Amino acid sequence: MAQEWNGTVLGFEAPPDPILGEMLGIRNILSDNGFTYNLGYLNEIAWNGGGGYNHDPRVAYIDQFALTFNQDLERWTGIADARIEGNIVNRNHNDDLTTRRVQDPRVNFNDLTQESWGGQSITRLGWLTFARSFDDRRLTWRIGMMNKVQTFDQIIPCDFQMLSQCGGKSANSLTWNNWNVHTWGTTLAYKITPTVTLKGGVMEQNPDASSRNHAWSWSTKGSKGVLLPLEIEARPQIFGLPGAYNLGVLYTNAPQRDLYTGKSGGAGASDPNGYAEHDDTWFMYAGFNQQLTRHQDDPNRGLSSSFSMSLSDQRSNYMHSVYAGSLRYRGLFDARPEDWIGFGLTWIDMSNQYARNQREMNTLSGVTDYNNPAYHPVPGHSLNGEFYYRFRPVKWLELQPGIQYWHHPGGVAKTQDAWVTELKTVVTF
């Protein structure tokens, strides 16, 4: 059953033919010596078509180069299935439409028009780890400067340009990072059955990990505690169609500041001792990605549906709950069997503690006018949607135009709903 599992329609496509080809045989020489890699370029463009907090037209542009590599060590050391894994990301043009136009900058953002924004224009190490397997490859051990995406929350691809529709929801814990930020840790993944895997680990909880001075740092300076993730993942066949399901919990003993309560028990905004802190913070995430239909002539064409959610400790996390659902279709048209079409909706409910603190700040300042720059907007919920179409004019190039709709951007009802036009481009070298 595990061998028959094919995740292509779920969004897990094989890498396309690269623009540089075999590079005069160099790629084959590297592969023969156990070194494989993927070098890709991504840019994401967003334009505010209407509405939002600031109506002034703006085209926001970001891009990145990403090198992900794997060096097989078994042939050199004799250690079964041993390997070195690495990731280096170069990001440029630190320009995001969300914080500049779409939502009120006086509240924390809860979604992004361009999911790859963040961390400024910088080149940084995403991960560098040693991994090997045991027990006939049922157990995989990984250790080093790592990122959660290497082991956890791997059931939904990052195909949408909107952040809330990109992958699962484990990053909403705000205690670890996606993609290009590393921290020290070690993880284990054990296949209980051919379709069910149990994952766990111990990872550094370091709020400074995303800072510029940590981009290539081996230091644990800034660490506040440890993260203890635990996840169960299943990749079954249901009525002959592949699916991926997971449920994860995350605990940290690192101090997290309360969003409202002060150390003396009242409001932290007026407490002379400041805000209270919590030494035990929890977070939960779950999701599924299931193929629903299969084209009669091509198993790599069909419809799939995904759902992901997160639930946080709203005492310290300003995003209390997030729910995202989507539909994808690969190869809708016979003439374009590798094209994708996708539609997704996300509901975000902000923390009651965060909203209480915003109200308290307004009470203390005496400001009640939303248009006053000193006013603290009170967030509630938001609903965001995205529709895209992705096509490949050539094997190594993907073009993905789309449109986004933001209802209550940032969770603020007084911010006008917004339309955003997008274009995502991917080049594989």
DSSP assignment of 117-158, as one string?
A: --S-SEEEEEEEEEEEEETTTTEEEEEEEE-GGGTS--SS--
Around Cβ 15, how many Cβ atoms within 10 Å?
A: 10
Distance CA 317, CA 250 (A): 13
Instruction: For residue 314, give both structure tokens.
Output: 């709203």
167 φψ region: left (φ > 0), alpha (ψ -120 to 50), beta (else): left
Half-sphere exposure in the Cβ direction for 138 (13 Å, CA) = 9
- ∠ CA 340-346-348, nearest 5°, is 160
Enclosing H/E stretch for 32: helix 26-32
Residue 410 and residue 109 in contact, taking contact as beta carbons nearer than 8 Å: yes
* pLDDT at res. 291: 98
Q: How many residues does the chain have?
A: 429
* pLDDT at res. 80: 86
* pLDDT at res. 277: 96
Distance CA 333, CA 302 (A): 10
> In sequence order, which ranges of 304-413 are alpha helices (DSSP H)?
352-365
* pLDDT at res. 2: 44
Strand partners, 383: 347, 407
Task: Residue 47: name the closest of 89, 97, 112, 91 by CA.
Answer: 97
Task: Residue 352: name the closest of 374, 319, 322 by CA.
Answer: 319
Sign of the torsion formed by the C-alpha atoms of 366, 368, 374 and 379: positive
* pLDDT at res. 176: 95
For the chain, 429 residues long, the average pLDDT of each consecutive 10-residue run is 80 94 92 95 97 97 97 92 97 93 97 90 96 96 98 98 97 93 98 98 96 94 96 97 98 97 95 95 98 94 98 98 98 96 98 98 96 97 98 97 98 98 98
Q: Residue 45 CA to chain centroid, in angstroms? A: 18
E strand segments, 7-94: 35-52, 59-72, 83-92
